[in-house]
């Protein structure tokens, strides 16, 4: 199946945020977000297992709070969300994503952002870039429960509910293995976005329906699928 065929079949696009839309944690921002949570432990920070105390991935730290520090978990999530809210204000859109969003809207697709990032931070980005009239909805993290997050299908199911869509009418575009796993668990199709060449072999090994290397490919495919006579091909 080609990208154009897949998109012609599925009118609801679920769009991962970090990667396809912008980079939420450039440079040390992931570690700094983790630090904002780790600091909540005060002196007890010294007792963190090394894989949590040294983690650059803020989600590793959030998961620790969710599983081991239930009393502080909501506070940690809020500290994380505040960091994300700050970083998205200076994040530049991924090359080609604004044209891709326009093209998908032009071909009648709905676009719902589905992300492990904080819903309020995503909303801030959408408002800053005036995407509100092109993005149908945002389903992001709203609490500390990490079981909600991709690779689990919960957020995708919430997005499908919002669109009143069946899984077979939807396709997720994401840049991580966890996106492919979440899409499979929810029963949607998935387009893997290999935004760095070194990610391609790993993403391919999880067998996404399609793999793209540039967001522009979504624009080109739309042009292909709407060329004169294309409707007659059935």
Contacting positions for Mg ion (CB under 5 A): 16, 18-19, 175-176
Residue nearest Mg ion (C-beta atom) = 19
Nearest distance, CB of residue 111 and Mg ion, angstroms: 15
Cis check for the bond before 151: say yes or no (omega within 30 of 0).
yes
Closer CB to Mg ion, residue 17 or residue 65? Answer: 17
Distance from C-alpha of 18 to C-alpha of 117, rounded to nearest angstrom: 8
Shortest Å, Cβ 115 to Mg ion:
7
Q: Give the residue with the Cβ less far from Mg ion, 151 or 187.
A: 151
C-beta of 17 vs 107, nearer to Mg ion? 17
- Tallying the residues shown for the chain, one arrives at 234
Q: Find the shortest distance in angstroms from Cβ 179 to Mg ion.
A: 6
| CA nearest to 8, candidates 107, 156, 113, 106 | 107
Apex 18 CA angle, 203 and 55, nearest 5: 85
Q: How far is the CB of 150 from Mg ion (least distance, A)?
A: 9
| Least distance in angstroms from the C-beta of 20 to Mg ion | 7
Q: Which is nearer to Mg ion, 75 or 213 (CB)?
A: 213
18 vs 119, beta carbon nearer Mg ion:
18
Residue 89: what are its φ and ψ, rounded to 5°?
-70, -25
In whole angstroms, give the CA distance from residue 211 to residue 231.
24
Tell me the HSE value of 8 on the side-chain side, using a 13 A CA sphere: 17
């Amino acid at each position: 199946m080609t990208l154009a065929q897949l998109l012609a079949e599925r009118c609801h696009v679920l769009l991962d945020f970090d990667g396809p839309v912008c980079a939420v944690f450039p440079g040390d921002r992931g570690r700094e977000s983790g630090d904002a949570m780790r600091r909540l432990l005060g002196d007890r920070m010294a007792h963190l297992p090394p894989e949590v105390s040294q983690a650059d991935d803020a989600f590793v730290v959030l998961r620790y709070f969710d599983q081991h520090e239930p009393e502080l978990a909501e506070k940690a999530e809020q500290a994380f969300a505040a960091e994300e809210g700050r970083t998205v204000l200076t994040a530049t859109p991924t090359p080609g994503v604004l044209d891709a969003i326009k093209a998908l809207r032009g071909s009648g697709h709905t676009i719902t952002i589905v992300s492990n990032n904080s819903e309020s931070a995503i909303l801030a980005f959408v408002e800053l870039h005036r995407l509100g009239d092109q993005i149908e909805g945002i389903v992001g993290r709203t609490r500390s429960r990490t079981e909600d997050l991709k690779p689990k299908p919960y957020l995708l199911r919430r997005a499908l509910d919002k669109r009143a869509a069946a899984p077979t009418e939807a396709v997720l575009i994401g840049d991580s293995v966890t996106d492919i796993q979440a899409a499979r668990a929810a029963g949607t199709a998935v387009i893997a976005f290999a935004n760095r060449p070194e990610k391609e072999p790993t993403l391919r090994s999880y067998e996404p329906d399609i793999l793209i290397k540039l967001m522009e490919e979504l624009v080109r495919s739309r042009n292909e699928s709407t060329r004169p006579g294309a409707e007659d091909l059935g």
